[in-house]
Structure 1
Amino acid sequence: MSALRLPEGFTDVFVSRLVQLDGLRLHAVIGGDGPPLLLVGGWPQTWYAWREVMPALAREHTVVAVDSRGAGLSDKPDDGYDAGTLAADLVALMAALGHDRFDVVGHDIGMWIGYALAADHPERVGRLAVVDAIIPGLTPSPPVFGPAAVNHRLWHFGFNRLPGLNEELVRGREHLFFGYQFATKAATPGAIPAYAVDVYVEAIVADPRGLRASFAYYRALDETVAQNEQRRKTRLTLPVLAVGGARNSGALVAETMRLAADDVTGVVIDDCGHYVAEEQPAQFTEILQDFLGGTPVTGVPHGCGTSGASR
């Protein structure tokens, strides 16, 4: 971590660990003291996406920011990128770290994994926070010829599922392709600093399996969709926080979770796109700490947890 740009004092609290599981090695950055909290990032990011919120969370939690299978420094096997397998990986990771029950925060693909964790392993998850995404197999699929704005936001779902052509088109142009994702999904083109984009892109480029693995989550969508169609038959009863950036998914995050859960608090953060933990870390941390502590969430009137609100 010494080569990364991090908040002051970060390495005094957090350590980088490679944890060997049964046939799989996962990387996580761990620190803090208190109830365990698992942070699960999205595509095409690594644990580094949480760097701005981790120090404050670590004051009251043992924070585990993980690189899921296929991301960052974690192993990149040929298969196992469906949400159920990814969730089982993280149950095994937390058990290996001594945590049988924990809270979960998931962003983007991490939201898919977080939902699978809560649905498949309800005895393991106390509270679930999900951030700015939709869930395949739960959220209704948009039409092929939908509005241009919807296509602009979701076109990568189809592209990333291609069986090989996408790798040929992107290889050697990774900064162009992935840089475009950050520039267009954030509230402003420069909201995610160039140094952070470089960290994410270089993590993919540095491993010859990285590009394939980055698309593998999407190539496994048929499995994930089928799993979620089964999961939604049993509603979640644990508390759920659904956070959306007003300039990206917005209230759709809470609408999605209400299709599957009974106790949903919805918050929309203004002046924010897809990358909530990096674009608005102070607001997001305050909201998340309220939720994890079991107090009324900042910006949501008391008693309105299941109806949602905007911040």
Structure 2
Amino acid sequence: MMTAADDTTSLSSLRLPDGFTDVFTSRLVELDGLRLHAVTGGDGPPLLLIGGWPQTWYAWREVMPALAREHSVVAVDPRGAGLSDKPDDGYDAGTMAADLVALMAALGHDRFDVVGHDIGMWTGYALAADHPERVGRLAVVDAIIPGLTPTPSVFGPAAVNQRLWHFGFNRLTDLNEELVRGRERLFFGYQFAQKAATPDAIPAYAVDAYVEAIVADPRGLRASFAYYRALDETIAQNEQRKKTRLTLPVLAIGGARYSGALVAETMRLAADDVTGVVLDDCGHYVAEEQPARFTEVLEDFLGGRPCSRV
């Protein structure tokens, strides 16, 4: 069952591109024991956008209007994020993928293209591997995939540690919550400042929106770490998934100042048809740091055209 969002999920409190609310609607979708939030709009082939940690659907705000000109866009808050439910478990990639298959079916989309960023890349890979009949094309954005990407050494270079230290921290059972609670703006703000191409590439109002989404729900902080606490299960799943290679077209986009070519290198371990693109002057948050170039590359890929090497 699908229901329109109530006043608490209104888009009016957020800073959005001009005309955004003329195209997009905030919705709560009731599935089997789980309520997911999505922002939907546009017309054309369905396109599912899955964001990363510690973000919400809002990460796609700058690219959604352009994408909606040719696609029925669904920007989702997966379980544990934003306005979606935050149950105690189910944060492994396989369960998250099954959630989104159910969401898209409830919205009337049995087959769709997928874009996944950060941990949304984990879910996007699981969607394509576990539900190949559902996914037409897969685009993944600036991340690695646990259980697929070779595990880096714990004594790796400092630059690698700077990118990956949060994996270990976020997997702690409770100390992380005690250390971060009450300091959410400091902790999460540091993530955005360090992973973007420049410390202020993600504007303060956006960081505030992401932090407030976590703080607003007493279960939000626990849920934000739950994806990482489920990594043992996700890794075991991916070790099985990679035994069957993906045959669908895959676009792998990296920011030159963060994951770069590693995104394509990761996907070539699992897929036969991979196009890699690295965006210059861009860090981890590609859709926010370089929305115009990201949209150009993505639209070429979704349309079956050669991707611009920008």
Range into which the TM-score falls when normalised by the shorter chain? over 0.9
Matched, 1:56 2:53: no
Q: Distance in 2 between matches of 1:102 and 1:153?
A: 31
Q: How does 1:111-190 map to 2 (within 5 A)?
A: 111-190=121-200
Q: Distance in 2 between matches of 1:121 and 1:201?
A: 32
**Secondary structure of the residue that 2:120 maps to in structure 1?**
helix
**Secondary structure of the residue that 1:268 maps to in structure 2?**
strand
**Secondary structure of the residue that 1:136 maps to in structure 2?**
coil
User: Residue 224 of structure 1: CA displacement?
Assistant: 0.1
Matched, 1:47 2:53: no
Instruction: Please name the residue that 1:5 is paired with.
Output: 15
Counterpart amino acid of residue 148 in structure 1:
A
User: Residue 241 of structure 1: CA displacement?
Assistant: 0.1
Cα shift readout 1:184-243 (whole Å, capped 9, x = no counterpart): 000000000000000000000000000000000000000000000000000000000000
Matched, 1:297 2:272: no
User: Residue 271 of structure 1: CA displacement?
Assistant: 0.2
Instruction: Among all aligned residue pairs of Structure 1 and Structure 2, give the percentage whose two residues are the same amino acid.
Output: 89
Counterpart amino acid of residue 91 in structure 1:
V
Cα shift readout 1:225-283 (whole Å, capped 9, x = no counterpart): 00000000000000000000000000000000000000000000000000000000000
Cα shift readout 1:84-117 (whole Å, capped 9, x = no counterpart): 0000000000000010000000000000000000
User: Residue 14 of structure 1: CA displacement?
Assistant: 0.1
Matched, 1:262 2:307: no
Q: Distance in 1 between matches of 2:282 and 2:308?
A: 16
**Secondary structure of the residue that 1:146 maps to in structure 2?**
coil
User: Residue 177 of structure 1: CA displacement?
Assistant: 0.1
Structure 1 consecutive aligned stretches of length 4 or more whose deviation exceeds 4 Å: none
Consecutive unaligned residues of structure 1, counting only runs of 5 or more, are 300-310
User: Residue 32 of structure 1: CA displacement?
Assistant: 0.1
Paired residue for 2:235, among 218, 222, 225?
Answer: 225
User: Residue 298 of structure 1: CA displacement?
Assistant: 1.0
Counterpart amino acid of residue 13 in structure 1:
V
Counterpart amino acid of residue 117 in structure 1:
L
User: Residue 19 of structure 1: CA displacement?
Assistant: 0.1
Instruction: State the number of aligned residues.
Output: 300
Q: Distance in 2 between matches of 1:153 and 1:288?
A: 25
User: Residue 285 of structure 1: CA displacement?
Assistant: 0.2
Consecutive unaligned residues of structure 2, counting only runs of 5 or more, are 1-10
Counterpart amino acid of residue 125 in structure 2:
Y
**Secondary structure of the residue that 2:104 maps to in structure 1?**
helix
TM-score by length of 2: 0.97
Instruction: Please name the residue that 2:284 is paired with.
Output: 274
Paired residue for 1:80, among 90, 93, 114?
Answer: 90
Q: Distance in 2 between matches of 1:100 and 1:159?
A: 37
